Amino acid sequence: MFADDDRPKRKTIHEIGCDLTFLSAGELEERITLLRAEIARLEADKASKTSSRSAAEDLFKQK
């Protein structure tokens, strides 16, 4: 009836500590890419917040 290509592709997610036994090398690579992107997003947000805090601290030191 339906070809596999017609079905919507499931979004790749990764749960920390999940069983990796039945994942292919390709699926593992997808998860590694996903996690690297998430790490970059977290680091960027951390840098933004650190910068904002430093700016606020500098403002209050001047007064």
- pTM metric for this prediction: 0.65
- Is residue 7 domain-resident? no
Count CB atoms within 10 A of the CB of residue 38: 11
Residues of the chain with pLDDT under 70: 1-5, 62-63
Contact 7, 15 (CB under 8 A): no
State the residue range of the domain holding 57. Answer: 24-63
Q: Count the domains in the chain.
A: 1
* pLDDT value for 14: 87
Residue 63 CA to residue 60 CA, distance in Å, equals: 6
Give the model's pLDDT for residue 9. 74
Say what the pLDDT of residue 53 is.
Answer: 75
Any domain includes 61:
yes
